[in-house]
Chains A and B, each alone.
Chain A
Amino acid sequence: MREVAVVSSAVHQVEALTFTTDVQLMVPLINQARDSVGLCQDEIGFTCSGSSDFLAGQGFSFVQTLDAVGAFPPIAESHVEMDGAFALYEAWVKLQIGEVDTALVYSYGKSSPGSRRDVLAVQLDPYTMTPLWPDAHSLAALQARRLLESGGVTVEELAGIAVRSQRNAVGNPNALRASADVTVDDVLAGAVVADPLRATDLSAEADGGCAVVLAAGNRARELCDRPAWIRGIDHRVDAQGLGVRDLTRSPSAALAAVRGADQAGFEAAAVDVAELHASSTAQVHLLTGELSLGDDVRIDPSGGSMAGDTLMAAGLVRIAEAARQVTSGDADRALAHASSGPCLQQNLVCLLEGE
């Protein structure tokens, strides 16, 4: 396996990007990610992005965003209609082949113009589920109730997860929900909005974008003092029917972690920090279990997606945040997780390490 590392990243998340287009959002982020390692687009070997037409209500919306890259002279480039974490996976694969040494990955999501929880109902079984319009909050609630009633977690523990996220998020310019003083009692005093979940149990929906530069081998060492090496990366998917799955589990998350660990030579549990892509506190709890993360792992040092969740980019943002922990020296090993689909149907695990 060829050594590939995250050498730079740029993230921007806010509650709503009302007067900014996707292109205007991404121009500074892409430039920042490239500039911070002194690369111009001509020097980038492969570019890959992730986004969704449905967020914008525009088919082919990603075509316009290519403007932000400066794609002339023409570039080797591709796009997935998935979270940017999967675009990063595709770029990592490309670097494994050996033809190119650097890649630019970017993704963005501006869901504020629509109703995100309702748009996501279009991801479901189109015959038997979407016509009932089960929105994303309702599905997260179904899963949360299963966890609570199976004894897997308590309401107080969920509140504790919400508190941890808000406290960790203090100082993170890309966090929407941060507080140094919030307590479990504060959280429990909030109203239930999607029974049994409170607003603080649901991730803080954001608009935003992320750009990451990957580099291989000695190129990475040239570009960055302490690259965040991708020691293992894998992704898996579970069955689509909610009734077919055990909603208290996410086998694909566990399996992706095991496969990633096989590549890395260390287990997911052996990391110092973990950034999780969850849309509810219940999912954070579930993932902590599936990834076997013990009390010695600092979970969501950025606040995680709970503190700021940009649809289609949250997974890539987790990779960027985890990589920063490594590059800054705050961590030697980090786990970044990305997910897609209802109730953690699809999961990607990325294991990072500093040299």
Chain B
Amino acid sequence: MTGVSDARGRLRADLVIEYPFTRTTGPVVGAFMTGLRDGRIVGSRRADGLVFVPAAEVDPETGDAITEIVEVGSTGVIETWTWVDPPRPGSPWEEPHGLALIRLDGADTPMLHGVLVESADDMATGMRVEAVWKSERVGHITDLMGFVPEGTGQEKNGVEGAESTAEGTDETVRSIRTPMRLEYDFIPSAAAQEYLHAYADKRILGNRSPVDGAVFVPPRGVDPRHGVAATEMVELAHTGHVGNFCVTHLPIPGRDDLPTPYVSAWIHLDGADIGFLGLVAGCDLDDVRIGMRVRAVWKPEEELGATAENVLYWEPTGELDVPVERAGNQAWRGSVLGEVVEDA
């Protein structure tokens, strides 16, 4: 994926991590979800009679399992609350709402859920509330739309204790979907910005270690052997060799741009002392070998951006191979204090 520049030419990209997690519930949490699907709220009862809501599968005091399921009311009292404005991106609500710990009648512990009122002025500890249900429920905490002041539920579109519309209603709920989506600003470091902008000019930069002159591509800003900053940038040739490679037959989920099989190779550029991953193409898969000399194949000028993806792939140059024993990562013979000794 490519990024964008802001007004000052600094690169940033949206990084979205999302997945529709499927969680199997086990019997106790499953009973709670089944209850929700059926328009009921259930808790779990400990041997001494204490009722946990939502149903808890373990007693926090002893670590013992709790298995007895009991129904509790769908009305209760607010024990503490806050106001959420604006609603959080991952939440089920689209309007500002209360968020409260609500102790339902028959429960000994309060549960967290939303309170659907107009403003924080309508919220109060001690206020009695009642559940408002979605008319279509699947067995999920969001089958509850939220809670409203007791007596006002009918106005809210949900129906108290409505029949479940889920298929197979005699079966217990065993799993739930809990999608997660987190968004991040991905902003490359200053050194990385320089490296990426250079790519836009079809230049490939690396870092030189201040300790012994070893050249790292991409520039990492540090020599990892010594834990010291590496700030000197050097420009590298667009040619090199395959230090090692992998022929991938198993596709990465969601990557239609990368049809299998493909060759990912450790490209050792001339003048660099470590490799980086690049696609090798422009030849038969079977021809790819350690030591094969390659050169960069760039995107057309009009498609260039500030990204390493400017290099579409690496193709064989047809020159004599680098001998296998000299290809790829080599025992480092450079000395400290900047004196670089050539490989024997």
Contact = CB atoms under 8 A, between A and B. Distances in A.
Would A and B touch once assembled, by the CB under 8 A criterion?
A: yes
Interface of A: 18-21, 23-24, 27-28, 30-31, 41, 54, 56-57, 66-72, 112-115, 117-119, 121-122, 125-135, 138, 141-143, 145-146, 149, 194-196, 239-244, 247
Interface residues of B, number: 66
- Listed residue (A128, A194, A195, A247) with the most chain B CB atoms within 10 angstroms of its CB: A128
Given A68-B227, A118-B88, A126-B23, A241 B189 contact: no
Interface string B213-230: 000000011111111110
Nearest to B54: A128
Interface in B4-18: 10, 15, 17
Contacts of A142: 80-82, 99-101
A72 B82 contact: no
B56 A30 contact: no
A24 B225 contact: no
Contacts of A68: 222, 227
A342 B149 CA distance: 27
B114 interface: yes
Contact of A244 (B32, B56, B226, B228): B56
B236 interface: no
Contacts of A131: 92, 140-142, 178
Interface string B55-89: 01000100000000000000000011111100011
Contacts, number: 176
A241 B60 contact: yes
Interface in B154-195: 176, 178, 180, 182-193
Nearest to B88: A133
Contacts of B80: 142-143, 145-146, 149, 247
B129 interface: no
- Listed residue (B82, B141, B189, B192) with the most chain A CB atoms within 10 angstroms of its CB: B82
Nearest to B146: A132
Contact of A24 (B79, B178, B222, B223): B222
Nearest to B125: A149
Contacts of B227: 27, 30-31, 41, 67-71
Contacts of B101: 142, 242-243
